[in-house]
């Protein structure tokens, strides 16, 4: 795409945003992440297409497709119990601020492990950890969000 004449002659190609797009598109990490997203979401999209089609399949067929989708998602080793527990304890403000899990070393270690596993870039890992600390301490934009929910 970025090597085509159509892109090269487009005024956007020479802009700052155009150069950023080119940098992203030639980065192998970007495509690895895209592949990861596709592998995680593809089973869900297949079921949604099946449900949304004009030809309504039999209910048994849908249940079978949903079962295969569930197996495919868990086979990807993305949605592990560790990640689900972290989501429950760290992302849900009611759980985060209403109990003693803030100091739970196992939960924090699990958060770090998930970030390191899902994001290979060290700088982005550090940014994720900094944002998590801001969220826990209710700083920055997270302070406003917590006021909005009454915490």
pLDDT digits (tens, 9 = 90+) for 23-78: 888 888 888 888 888 877 787 787 777 777 667 655 666 667 777 777 776 666 65
Q: Which of 3-12, 73-82, 137-146 has the highest mean pLDDT?
A: 3-12
pLDDT of the residue at 108: 77
What residue ranges do the domains of the chain occupy? 80-151
- The string of pLDDT tens digits covering residues 78-136 is 556 666 666 666 556 666 555 545 456 777 777 788 788 778 889 988 988 888 788 77
Distance, in Å, from the CA atom of 39 to the CA atom of 46, rounded to the nearest integer, reads 12
pLDDT of the residue at 41: 78
pLDDT of the residue at 36: 81
Torsion of the alpha carbons at 43, 45, 49 and 52, rounded to the nearest 10: 120
pLDDT of the residue at 98: 56
pLDDT of the residue at 33: 85
Distance, in Å, from the CA atom of 137 to the CA atom of 98, rounded to the nearest integer, reads 13
Q: What is the CB neighbour count within 10 angstroms for residue 110?
A: 19
50: tokens are 């099946």
């Amino acid at each position: 795409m970025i090597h085509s004449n159509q892109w090269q002659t487009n005024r956007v190609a020479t802009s700052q945003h155009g150069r950023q797009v080119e940098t992203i598109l030639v980065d192998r990490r970007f495509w690895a992440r895209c592949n990861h997203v596709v592998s995680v979401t593809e089973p869900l999209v297949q079921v949604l297409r099946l449900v949304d089609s004009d030809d309504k399949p039999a209910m048994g067929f849908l249940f079978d497709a949903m079962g295969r989708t569930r197996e495919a998602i868990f086979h990807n080793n993305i949605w592990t119990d560790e990640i689900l527990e972290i989501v429950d304890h760290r992302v849900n403000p009611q759980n985060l601020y209403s109990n003693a899990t803030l100091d739970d070393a196992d939960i924090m270690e699990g958060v770090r492990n998930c970030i390191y596993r899902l994001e290979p870039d060290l700088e982005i890992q550090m940014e994720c950890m900094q944002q998590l600390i801001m969220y826990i301490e209710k700083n920055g934009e997270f302070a406003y969000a917590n006021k909005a929910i009454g915490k």
